[in-house]
Structure 1
Amino acid sequence: MTEKVRGTEAQEFSPEFKDEAVHMMIEQSRPIAQVARELGLIEGPLGNWVNAYRRSHPGEEAPLTTSERAHLRELEKEVRELRMKTEFLGKAAAFFAQEYR
C-alpha cells in the first residue's frame, strides 16, 4: 500500500521508499527536517513513518554513545536552567506589572 502526502501536489511513496527514508534518520541519527528537505518531503509524514517504525521495531535502535549521553545530560541541565529562568522572569514581569498599576 502506498501513502499519499500533500505538498505542492499529492505524491505516492512505496514501502521501500519509506523504509529508506526512515533508515536515513535512524541509522545515521539525522534530524527529520534535514532528511525531509533532502528527499523533498514534508516533515510530518516522515515523522509518522519513523514513529510507526519505532513502534513496530522496539529496541532495535543503537544505544547512545558515551559522548551522546554526555551531550544529552548537558542539554537536560540547560533545559532545567532555562525553565527556572523563564519561571523567574514570568514572576518578575507579573510583579512589575502589578506595581505599575
Structure 2
Amino acid sequence: MRKSVKFSPEVVERAVRMVFEAEGQHESQWAAIESIAAKIGCTSETLRRWVRQAERDQGLKPGPTTEEQQRIKDLEREVRELRKANEILKLASAFF
C-alpha cells in the first residue's frame, strides 16, 4: 500500500490557483487539472478535490466551507466526549 504524500497548504493553494488560471487554455477544467496534477506530482483526483473545496470556500459552488467542516468535526468530537461522560455518570449513579 502506498503512503499518502502530505502537501503543504502553500502547494495546495498554488496548484488550485494554477488550475483557475489555466482553465481558459484547456478545453475543460478537468484537462487543466490533469495537466497541472502531473506537474506538481499529485493525482488528478486529489487536485480535483482541492479545486472543488476552493470553489466552495469562495462561494462559487454550494456545500460546506473548510471552516464549516472543521466546526462540524469539532462539534462531533464534543458530542462523543459528552456521551462518554454521560455513560460514566450513569454507571456511577447505578453503582451508588
- What is the TM-score with the length of structure 2 in the denominator? 0.49
Q: Which has the higher helix share?
A: 2
- What is the TM-score with the length of structure 1 in the denominator? 0.47
